[in-house]
Each structure stands twice: as C-alpha cells, then as structure tokens.
Amino acid sequence: MHPKSLNFPGTLRIGVDTGGTFTDFIAVQDHRIFSFKVPSTPDNPSRAILIGLERILTGLSPKQLTLEIAHGTTVATNALLERKGARTALITTSGFEDVIEIGRQARPDLYNFSVERPVPLIERSLRFGIAERVSASGEILKHLEPNDLCLLIEKLRQLKVESVAISLLFSFVNPAHELAIADALAALDVPLSISHQILPEYREYERTSTVVINAYLAPKVSHYLEDLQQGLGNLLTMFPKTSPQLRVMQSSGGSISAETAAKEPVRTILSGPAGGIIAATRIGAMAGISDVITFDMGGTSTDVALCRGTAHTTNEAKITGLPVAVPVLDIHTVGAGGGSIAYVDAGGALRVGPESAGANPGPACYGIGTRATVTDANVVLGRFGGRGLLNGAMALDLARAEKVIDEIAGQMTQASGKKVTSVEAAQGIIKVANANMERALRLVSVERGQDPRYFTLVSFGGAGGLHAVALAEALRIPQVLVPAFPGAFSALGVLLADVVKDYSKTVMLAVDVNLPHEKVVKSLAAHFSAMEKAAKRELRREGFNAKQIALFRSLAIRYRGQSFELEVKYDGQLKAALSLFHKLHHERYGHADLSAALEIVSARLRGVGLTEKPQLKPARKQRKAVHPLATASIRLDRKAERVPVFDREALPVGFQLQQPALIVEYGSTTLIPAGWQVEVDKWKNLLLQKIELS
C-alpha cells in the first residue's frame, strides 16, 4: 500500500521502531497496511523518524487527520550502554551512599579471579547521605534538618548536576522525607527521580539502582522526545486540526505517553525488542500457536524470548550488569546481527561480534564499510538471490563484500597454516554467528527446563529469515513461523500494545497454612484498592473511559526464609493464589512444600488502557500458478546449488514448496534449505516445517 492510497476520515496509526541499522515504519488505516524502512541516524534518532513520517504524510489531503504514533526507541538503551547519560547526583540515607557500589554478594562469574564489576553510574563525589531515618514499620526515628537541605541544595548547585536520584531507606513504607527533599530540590530546576514513585518496594540496592538509572537517563530521553514532538508539530502544519497522540513502548510490553516516558525512561530500556515479543504472541495466537520462542535478528543484535501463551515479565533484569527492578519482558540479547563484524583474534580463532558496523558505515556490501560482517558473508554465499535489499532499491556491492571476506580468509589461512577459501570463510562466519545465537536460544529454553521441541520459532527482523532454519535444526525445533512484514515486525508490535501502568507495594504479610487468612485478605484488599484508584485516575488522564480500563492483580510470594519470590495471579481468592505458587515453585525448582509457611512480599497491579488495534483479516485461499522470479546460485553446504527465488507478495494462501528456495520481500529474505518445506497460511505467515522422512 502506498501512502497516497490512505483515505479519510479514519484514524491513521503509525508504528515506528528504531534499530541500529534501519528505522522501521508500519502505517495502518482500516485493513490497509504500508511498511517501509529508512536508514537510522544514530547521531540523532529523531531525524530518521521524521524522514519516515514525512514520507507517509506528504501528498495526503490536508483534511482533519486523526493520528496515533507508537514508538519503540533505543535512546535509553544506547545512552546506558555507552554511558552517555546526565551528570547525576544521588541523595540517600546517611551511611548508604555506597549501596550502588557494594551491591550484592552474588558473583556473576564464580571462577573468574579477574572479574570486573560494573562502574557505578554516579561517582562517589556525587553521592550524598542525609541525616534522616525511618523504621521498617514507617515510624520516623530521625527527622530531616532544614539546614541540611539548604547546604545540600548549595552543593548540588556548585557541582552543576543535571539530574537527581532520591532513594531513602524504607521510603516505600513512609515517603514523607523523600517528598520533603523533592520539594526543597525543586529549586534546582532539574529532573528528580524519587524512589517511592518509581519503585515502592524493598531491597535498597535494586531500588536505588533502578532510580539512579532513571535519573541518569531522564535528561537525554526527555530532550529527545521534546525534539521529536517539535519536529512532528512542524510536519503537521498542513493539518492544523490534528493533535497527534505519541506513545512510547515500555520494556514491559505496554506503551505509555511520551510525557510519562520522559519522566520514567527506565521503563523504556528494552522498548524496541518488546514490540516484537507482543506481535509474536498475538500473531502466534491467531495462527493457533500458543508456545513460541521469538527470534529477532536485526542489524546490530539478536533478541530472543520464550513465551508460553503470553509474554512473560521479570523484575530481576540486569542491563550492563546493573539491576533494573521495574517490570521488563524476559528478553535475552546477544551482540549478533547482520552488521556484526567478523575478525580473527590474537589466538587465530574466528570471532563474530559483538561490535557492529551499524548504520554508518554499515556492512561492506552497502558500499561504505571496510570490515567483513554477517551480511557480507550471506552476500558472498548468494543468499540474497542477487536482488539487493528493499525490493532492489538498495543494491548490494558483491565485489566489495568478496574483498573483505577474502581478507578474513587470508587471516584464517595465516593463522591455521591451511588454505582457507573465501567461501569457507563466509560459511565460517555464518556458523560462528549461528553458534552465538544458538547459545541465546538455549539459555531461554533448555537452561530453564523448557524443551524447545514443543515450541515454534517465530523469526523476524531483517536478517532472521536467513538463519532461522539452521537454528531450529540445532535445537530440534520442528516448526518456524515467519510472519508478514518480518522486517518491520517490532513496529507492528508497538501498534498492537495496550497502554500499561504498573504499580507495586511491599506488604510483607505472613501466611500460615494452619491459621485463618481473613486478616491477610483484608490487608491485601486495602493495598489493591489504593493502587486501583491511582491506576484508574492516571488512565482516565490519558483518555481511557471505564470500559477501556482493565486491572490485573498479582502477588509476589515466597517460602518464609527465602530470598526471592515468584509472581502469581491473584483474583481475590488467596487459597488459589497459594496453590498456584506451589505449582509454579515445583515447575521452576523441582520441589514444593505444601505445609511450609509462606510470605507475601509484594502486591502488584497492572492497569491496562485498551487501545484500538489494527484489525488483521485472514486472506482467502487462492488457486493460481506461481512462478519464480529467477533462479540463484547459493551455497548451503560445500556445493553451489541453483534454487528458485520467489516474491513473497505473489505467494497465495495455501502455497506449498518442498525444495530449497529463497523467498524475498521488501524487508527480509527467507532461506528454505533442503529437508524443509514451506506453506503460506491464511494470515500470510510462512510456516516452515521439517520434512518427515517415511
């Protein structure tokens, strides 16, 4: 669909996902979908977004336009990875200034004597302890001194801090002192991140780390969103009656307003990958598949997740070794993508990634890069069918790719003492990249007690289709699903996401199986009532009415004496929740004790604003002859083999093929090797299955 085919009236919904190499767009109106990519602009990600939005809006009739934009962003992720956040100060209870440096006693690499802990985001000179104390029950033991606050403000002014994190001991029980400090520091006119507002839960290290990350990212993300909204306003001068709605994807799988994202950027750290997970579970359910392993291979990295029916969240995530305790989708990321750079290390071993060529200069075959990448290896092996990218709009430089792969082959020859051809070097690069991604897939499945043979691999991202079957074979996954628009699938996911508000409250309620539970149930009801009022108030503020609001309760429970808890659904029936906890504990750890005393650590609420979503219609089965566009010489093993090249858009529902082939489309290429068959289902998904030999 071309933008000019969009009609009015009708809401125009645009999903945007910023990747390391390309920025992806999906525009949806009624049942019409238009998808495309533009090169990312890492120096200013909003520039690529505005280029794409201008492409959609240019030429449309200047009538009243209802416009909704949902955005998956990597601004927070990159700022944290590259340590390019704000000059931040931490205000905490006196004596706890070093909690973010001390951390926990758990060692991430048990047998590594040279392990290096991540450097705190806030240096020691910018961490301030203030004389105050609140007990675990909320009683104020030592009040704040006004003079201390005055001295603190003056110090922060002199140090020219750009953002402040406030995290006091037991503020989640009684936030009075945090509120007083925030009131005093308002005079600094810098963003304030307050722990009882962002994460009102116990565990001072994880809570403080989360608030510090939020403060560290807040200025950069807020400036980015301001620039984006200003640029969008300039684009819409020809639509004077249009007030666009801009939402940002959260790491938890729901979206939030741009204003909320600017205040709480810690919730957007895995914004981009989250969209793909949401789309995969939705499309999988439509195809009758509930248990999926998602495989999102882009230009810079690969993101994988295991979903049994729904996407799973965790409160125990770590980003660059730093704990993030707000809900995030349980995603594992590795530095393996189409742009991952291949090299021979000092020991003579072939390595791939995690360094990436990114959007600039990009793989050598894009015409500028000078180092071999995974994409260059695929080009040399003929796996793009000689058609280039983006339906041929972006030509691939085969000679340049061959040159950089030849250089790798020469280095491998020198290291091994045996002649290595360029084809062998390219195949080696693919094998190493696949091994990196296979480890990630094993981590979220086999290493967590899940048998991948009972799952479907949902493959998307621009590079995913070329590697999906090889990975499925390595893990003995019998089926691969490649959805429609795989190259912009995460952009579709952000459109499918609801607006989500997460709330939590540490309650520490003891539960004895031999004693009545009435008091516990009553206490929980009071906590949930307060959180539900807040959720309804905030969702109404974002334009949702009572019928569009859904509330979901859960409890974090553990056996008394344990250090960590499991989260279970809670519908007001405590016995059912406790029974579910025992079942989940047995599934996770292999044992459960029905007679043991329990402890409810936290009450959690998810408030959901139900958005209008693109309505995807099934296609009708057609009987028509399908002819390949061409044939191409590709290397699957050692021999070159000629295979047909099909245009995916021309494949009707019900199309089947049981031979090696390439299926090309605008944003991706899918490789069908020997021993696998492909079928197009009614949702226009490609279903790849292992051919069973009789």
Tens of pLDDT, residue by residue over 507-537, are: 999 998 777 788 999 999 999 999 999 999 9
Given strand 32-39, what is the order of strands in its sheet?
Answer: 32-39, 22-29, 11-18, 66-72, 245-249, 255-257, 499-511, 598-609, 549-559, 566-569
Token output for 54: 């201008």
The per-type count for the chain, helices as H runs and strands as E runs, is: 16, 34
Helices (H), 542-647: 574-589
Strands 66-72 and 245-249: parallel
Return the pLDDT at 23.
Answer: 92
The CA distances from residue 464 to 30, 76, 299, 377, 439, in Å, are: 28, 24, 10, 14, 16
Token output for 201: 């839960």
Return the pLDDT at 4.
Answer: 47
Q: What is the rounded CA–CA span in Å between residue 33 and residue 613?
A: 13
In CATH terms, is domain 80-220 a member of 3.30.530?
Answer: no
The CA distances from residue 511 to 504, 519, 566, 667, in Å, are: 19, 10, 15, 54
Mean pLDDT of 200-226: 95
Tell me the β-bridge partners of 68.
13, 245
User: Closest by alpha carbon to 623, among 653, 649, 587?
Assistant: 653
With tokens 């509930």, the residue in question is 290
Q: What is the rounded CA–CA span in Å between residue 249 and residue 637?
A: 41
Residue 2 confidence class, pLDDT cut points 50, 70, 90: very low
Task: Please give, one letter per residue, the 3-state secondary structure of 368-386.
Answer: CCCCCEHHHHHHHCCCCCC
Token output for 43: 């120096």
Instruction: Check whether 279 has a pLDDT greater than 90.
Output: yes
Token output for 148: 């201390």
Instruction: Count other C-beta atoms under 10 Å from residue 112's C-beta.
Output: 9
Token output for 467: 């590697």
Average pLDDT along the chain: 91
User: Closest by alpha carbon to 248, among 239, 257, 236?
Assistant: 257
Instruction: Check whether 379 has a pLDDT greater than 60.
Output: yes
Residue 33 confidence class, pLDDT cut points 50, 70, 90: confident
Instruction: Check whether 315 has a pLDDT greater than 90.
Output: no
Return the pLDDT at 388.
Answer: 81
Q: Write phi, then psi, for 455 (nearest 5 degrees).
A: -120, 165
With tokens 């429609």, the residue in question is 484
Boundaries of CATH 3.40.1360 in the chain? 80-220
Instruction: Count other C-beta atoms under 10 Å from residue 522's C-beta.
Output: 9
Instruction: Check whether 154 has a pLDDT greater than 60.
Output: yes
Instruction: Check whether 109 has a pLDDT greater than 90.
Output: no
Residue 8 confidence class, pLDDT cut points 50, 70, 90: very low
Q: What is the rounded CA–CA span in Å between residue 589 and residue 458?
A: 27
Q: Is 660 exposed, middle or buried (0-12, 13-18, 19+ CB in 10 A)?
A: middle
The CA distances from residue 109 to 114, 248, 439, 589, in Å, are: 9, 35, 17, 22
Q: Is 489 helix (H, G, I), strand (E, B) or coil?
A: helix
Strands 661-664 and 640-647: parallel
Q: Which residues, 6 or more positions from 139, have their beta carbon under 8 angstroms from its beta carbon?
A: 174
Return the pLDDT at 5.
Answer: 47
User: Closest by alpha carbon to 242, among 68, 27, 4, 28?
Assistant: 68
Residue 483 confidence class, pLDDT cut points 50, 70, 90: very high
Q: Write phi, then psi, for 319 (nearest 5 degrees).
A: -120, 120
Instruction: Check whether 668 has a pLDDT greater than 70.
Output: yes
Mean pLDDT of 203-214: 96
Q: What is the rounded CA–CA span in Å between residue 488 and residue 298?
A: 10
Say if residues 365 and 376 touch (Cβ distance below 8 Å). Answer: yes
Residues 498, 504, 510, 512, Cα dihedral to 10°: 0
Instruction: Check whether 211 has a pLDDT greater than 60.
Output: yes
Return the pLDDT at 464.
Answer: 93
For the chain, the maximum distance between any two Cα atoms, rounded to a whole number of angstroms, is: 84
pTM: 0.89
Q: What is the DSSP string of 416-479?
A: HSS---HHHHHHHHHHHHHHHHHHHHHHHTGGGT--GGGSEEEEESTTGGGTHHHHHHHHT--E
Task: Please give, one letter per residue, the 3-state secondary structure of 502-513.
Answer: EEEEEEEEEECC
